[in-house]
Amino acid sequence: MLRHLSTALAATLLLVSFALAGGKSKDKPTLRSYFLTAHTVAVIVDPSAGVSLEDPRANQIAQKDVEAALTNWGRFLPVLDTTQADLIIVIRKGSGRLTNVTVPDARQNSRPGSITPTDDGISLGAQRGTPPQTSTGPAYPPISSRPQAEIGGSEDSFLVYEGTVSNPLDGTPGWRYDAPDALHSHNVPAVDRFRKAIADAEKAAAAKQSQQNPPSAQTNPSTPQQSNP
């Protein structure tokens, strides 16, 4: 009996050791090429997100914080019109709970204005953005005054879609980050993570390009040169 228990314990420890040491791949997932060629980005609130009764402006504040962080980064130009965006970032502020009472309101993404960088972040001018499309039409649910219980969504979410395809939100996000306070005001950790992912992808692309096009061999100056008689 003790021998069987010892054998089972040894096998369990071996599996745990494998999971900790080599169970996960050491290779980081590589972003698709469209991330590295993108120049413009639109930030929208998740169309399925309702307005929290406890914090009605949570998603809109997070939206502006993400736009400001992107502007300060300088890698992408934030735009309002999703039809002009190479990337579409879909954000959603978590409630910290498994359920949250909200009211559906599509106007969260109806913002008149254009995004202009300023010393303090961003400002809005006159222009109206175009909502993203799905295969069934605009991505926004109808406006309702009836409260609903949203299940899940306890963490902040930050999803990035390719914006130059038809019905972009019907596809799978090319990158995402879900975590408590991922959209925390001012520092916005999700943008920092996204910035690191872009930097890692650029390094991987440069290394791959270097392997495919190695530098030509140079003549060693210490090697004597033969001349024709």
Q: What is the pLDDT of residue 220?
A: 55
Residue 216 resides in a domain: no
Q: Could you list the residue range(s) of the whole structural domain that residue 148 is in?
A: 33-204
Token pair 């959603």 in the structure block, residue: 92
Between 192 and 107, name the one with better pLDDT: 192
Residue 224 resides in a domain: no
* Gap between the Cα atoms of 109 and 63, Å rounded: 9
Number of domains in the chain: 1
Average pLDDT on 131-143 reads 56
Confidence check: pLDDT of 171 > 60 = yes
Residue 28 resides in a domain: no
Report yes or no: 15 and 53 within 8 Å, Cβ to Cβ. no
Q: How many helices (H) and strands (E) does the chain have?
A: 4, 12
Residue 130 resides in a domain: yes
Question: Percent of the chain, pLDDT > 90?
Answer: 45
Confidence check: pLDDT of 206 > 60 = yes
Report yes or no: 176 and 2 within 8 Å, Cβ to Cβ. no
Question: Percent of the chain, pLDDT > 70?
Answer: 59
Query: Please, which pLDDT band fits residue 221 given cuts at 50, 70 and 90?
Result: low
- pLDDT (tens digit per residue) in 17-70: 434 443 333 445 689 999 999 999 999 999 888 888 888 889 999 999 999 999
Residue 114 resides in a domain: yes
Residue 186 resides in a domain: yes
Between 30 and 208, name the one with better pLDDT: 208
Residue 11 resides in a domain: no
